[in-house]
Amino acid sequence: MENILEVNGVTKSFSGKSVLNRMSFKLEEGKVLGILGPNGNGKTTILNIIAGLLQPDSGEVKVNGMNVGRETKEVVSFLRENNQFYPWMKIEDSIGFYKDFFPDFDEKRARELLKFMNIEGNSKLVSLSKGMLEKVSLSLVLGRKSKLYILDEPISGVDILSRDEIVNALIEYMIDGASMIITTHYVGELEKLLDKVVFIKDGIIVESGEADDIREKYKASIEGAYKEIFKR
CA angle 206, 208, 212 (to 5 degrees): 140
58-62, 83-87, 189-193, 210-214, range with the lowest pLDDT: 83-87
Burial 9-33 (b: 16+ CB within 10 A, else e): ebebeeeeeebbbebebebeebbbb
Kindly calculate the radius of gyration of the chain based on its CA atoms and give it in whole angstroms. 17
Q: Phi/psi at 75 (nearest 5 deg)?
A: -115, 5
Average pLDDT over every residue of 192-213: 96
Please check whether residue 58 is in contact with residue 49, taking contact to mean a CB–CB distance below 8 angstroms: no
User: Can you tell me the distance from the alpha carbon of 174 to that of 146, in angstroms, rounded to the nearest whole number?
Assistant: 10
**What residues contact residue 198 under an 8 Å CB cut-off, 6+ apart?**
25, 33, 34, 35, 36, 205, 207, 208
60-65 contact pairs (CB < 8 A, 24+):
60/6, 60/8, 60/9, 60/10, 61/5, 61/6, 61/7, 61/8, 61/10, 62/3, 62/5, 62/6, 62/8, 63/4, 63/5, 63/148, 64/4, 64/147, 64/148, 65/2, 65/3
Domain ranges of the chain: 3-230
Q: Is the pLDDT of residue 57 over 70?
A: yes
105 or 167, higher pLDDT: 105
DSSP sequence for 53-78: SS--SEEEEEETTEESSHHHHTTEEE
According to the per-residue pLDDT averaged within each range, which of 25-34, 126-135, 148-157 is highest? 25-34
157 or 93, higher pLDDT: 93
Question: Which residues face 90 on adjacent strands?
Answer: 124
Q: Is the pLDDT of residue 202 over 90?
A: yes
What CATH code is assigned to 3-230?
3.40.50.300
User: Can you tell me the distance from the alpha carbon of 206 to that of 22, in angstroms, rounded to the nearest whole number?
Assistant: 12
Of the candidates 44, 5, 42, which has an alpha carbon nearest to the alpha carbon of residue 153? 44
Q: Is the pLDDT of residue 81 over 80?
A: no
- The per-residue pLDDT for 232 is 61
Q: Read off the pLDDT of residues 135-180 as tens digits, 9 standing for 90 and up.
A: 999 999 999 999 999 999 988 777 888 888 888 889 888 888 899 9
- The per-residue pLDDT for 179 is 96
Q: Is the pLDDT of residue 186 over 90?
A: no
91-100, 121-130, 174-183, range with the lowest pLDDT: 121-130
- The per-residue pLDDT for 129 is 86
Q: Is the pLDDT of residue 49 over 90?
A: yes
Q: For all residues of the chain together, what is the average pLDDT? A: 92
How much of the chain, in percent, has pLDDT values that exceed 90? 71
**Amino acid, single-letter form, for residue 204:** I
